[in-house]
Amino acid sequence: MKKALKIVSVATLSVAAGIAAVSTVYGWGDNAGGRPTYSIADINAGKLGDKIVMNSIKDDDSSLTEAERQSGVTTPLTDERSFIGIRDEATGDHGKNNVWNIGNVNIEEGKTYIVRMYVHNNNPKGVNAIAKDVTAQVDLPNLVSKEARITGFINASNATPSRYWDSLNLKSADDRSFYLDYVEGSALFENNVWKNGITLSDNLVTSAGVKLGYDKLDGNLPGCYQYAGYVTFKVKPVFENTSIMKKVRKQGDQEWKESVDAKVGDTVEYQIHYKNLNNSRVENVMIKDSLPTNMEYIKGTTTLYRSDIPNGATSNEDSLFTNAVNIGNYAVKGDGYIRFLAKVVDKNLACGNNRLINWAKASANGFAIQDNADVYVNKVCNETPNSKANPNPRTNSNSKGASKDWS
């Protein structure tokens, strides 16, 4: 089973703690279980009354009056429930011609993307209908996968509903795995007061979120379009540049497998296959292996195979099992193999079937991935045969059961 590992800083590890449960919902949502939408005509007719509602206008501009159209009035979004979008930073002119993508979006290596969240108190009464404690949050996953879901949240304590969200589903354009790297210090809030944006705290991408507002970031947001704004921040996709495959076989067998059955005293051979998936040369690839208890390395058997050493060369076996061994530099799609032998021993095998998991990890250019191969050892424990049933119920014999299996 392969596992990709993002090499992260301590600050990054705190991303989105505590809000992952809601982020499993794809698309827009709210904590009331489905909110009504309103047209511009509905808003102008006073259907909201004094109620505070965020991001719930759905209008294709057909509700605008002729005077509004003549003056150039347009609705920023035709459906405010889809309030989060993304675009390539290198495209657009930072104006109305920018193309913001929603829903499912393909992303590419080497690009930086701007994510935007629209924030609008729909009540038209302005300062007489202030949304309170308005905050924005972003659930930015730090897992490595072929897809990554970004979910944006808008909260207002006196709104109905009080919590709103929308999602983007980012996919790898070339089917490689990746993780999203948040660009620290990139978060901004733009509106009619801060036309070039005011810097927001990086708490935007934590469970704390950040306060928004109109002329102060105090959590107070008046109603109507002139008080609306945009939260923006940047992310960079970091693509998998390392492939590792761990296999095992019993000594003398020809076929490599993900797992084998063995018994105490058997010798098995492990193989770690590394391949450079990057679009450029990779230097100083590091490999580390973690032998499980009850597998004993046979000294002097570690061998490295590459295109320039097809017959193999002895590797630094001590480093392989401690800090990691440097297996050199690799061109695009270049690969190498490490093979070594180990013997099944009984240090603390449990009675029954034991799964001995051997993990190997490859790291290069700040990206690490690991894979495992398994050896299954069935230990048969001697048990005292049960005596015949004793007719005297006061002196029934006790039989000792097998130990609990563990791996």
Cβ of 65: how many Cβ atoms within 10 Å?
Answer: 12
Q: How far apart are CA 286 and CA 359, in angstroms?
A: 14
Q: How far apart are CA 12 and CA 206, in angstroms?
A: 9
pTM over 0.85: no
pLDDT of residue 72: 66
Topology of the domain covering 242-379? Immunoglobulin-like (2.60.40)
Q: What is the residue whose two structure tokens read 């309030």?
A: 83
pLDDT of residue 196: 93
Contacts by residues 389-396 (CB-CB < 8 Å, ≥ 24 positions apart): none
pLDDT of residue 317: 66
pLDDT tens for 274-319 read: 998 877 889 999 999 999 999 999 998 999 999 999 999 986 666 8
- Rg of the chain, C-alpha, whole Å: 30
Q: What is the residue whose two structure tokens read 């105490």?
A: 264
Mean pLDDT per 10-residue interval, the chain, length 407 residues: 45 28 51 83 93 93 74 78 91 61 86 95 97 96 85 96 94 86 94 96 93 98 96 90 89 96 98 88 92 94 93 80 91 93 96 94 82 94 56 38 27
pLDDT of residue 7: 41
Question: Domain locations in the chain?
Answer: 13-239, 242-379
Which H/E stretch holds residue 286?
strand 286-290
pLDDT of residue 23: 36
Separation in Å, CA 47 to CA 41, 221, 227, 314: 9, 20, 20, 79
pLDDT of residue 145: 83
pLDDT of residue 368: 78
